[in-house]
Structure formats: structure tokens, C-alpha cells
Amino acid sequence: WRRKNCPADVESLGNATWTLLHTMAAYYPDRPAPSQMESMKTFISSFSEHYPCWYCKEDFKKAIEKEPVKVGSRKKLSEWLCRRHNEVNAKLGKEQFDCTKVLERWLNGPPDGRCD
């Protein structure tokens, strides 16, 4: 991302990971089957065990203990993840993202069509 062909640092890993997580949530079903809800819970729990930044993962684990992952629909999962990302943004002094725009950002693109 910044330095080509170098091992990931916390920033480049974080940016790539949020892209994957938000995009996964954006393509999660509106009406998931029970097995899809179970596998998403398992994924988030395993992710929080294996994310390769120890202090990031410790805080993420605490956050999901406080508010367990919401797997009932695409919107619920996307907004849940948006809130988790905003907690990290707050910790790093970054701007809060408007979670009502999360599917515009990660699924549909802006109404002006500039991402089409």
C-alpha cells in the first residue's frame, strides 16, 4: 500500500482488513440461513483470536464481549462492524464514520455514479 512489497505494518494491514471485513458484511445475505449466521459468528471469533496485531486484537475481543456480533441481516452486521471500526477510529483520534452510509461506502457506491 505505502511501501511496495514490504511486510504489512499496522496501518496497511488494518486498511486491507477493514476492506475485507466491510465488503464481507456488505455481501452477507439480507436473510441469512442459520448455518450462515453460525459461520459468521465463528469467523468473527476466530478472526479475533488470530488477527496479527496483539493490541488491536485484545481491544477487538473486549469490544465483541461488550456487544456480540449481530448476524441477523446484512444491515445489522454492516452496522455492527461500522460501530467497531468507529471505536478504533476514536482510539486513534480519527473521524467518526456515519454508519447510515456504510452500504453506500462498501456496496452501492455514491449516488453520483463516480464509482461505477
C-alpha cell at 87: 471505536
Cα 60 to Cα 45: distance, rounded to the nearest angstrom: 10
| Smallest distance from ligand FAD to CB 71, Å | 17
Q: Where are the alpha helices (DSSP H) in 54-107?
A: 54-66, 74-91, 102-103
The number of C-alpha atoms within 13 Å of 48 and in the hemisphere containing its C-beta is 17
| Smallest distance from ligand FAD to CB 4, Å | 16
**Contact between 8 and ligand FAD (CB under 6 A)?**
no
Binding residue (CB under 6 A) for ligand FAD from 8, 73, 76, 97? 97
**Measured between alpha carbons, how far apart are the two ends of the chain, in Å?**
23
Query: By CB under 6 A, how many residues form the interface with ligand FAD?
Result: 22
The residues binding ligand FAD (CB under 6 A) are 10-11, 14-15, 17-18, 22, 51, 55-56, 59-60, 82, 85-86, 88-89, 91-92, 97, 102, 105
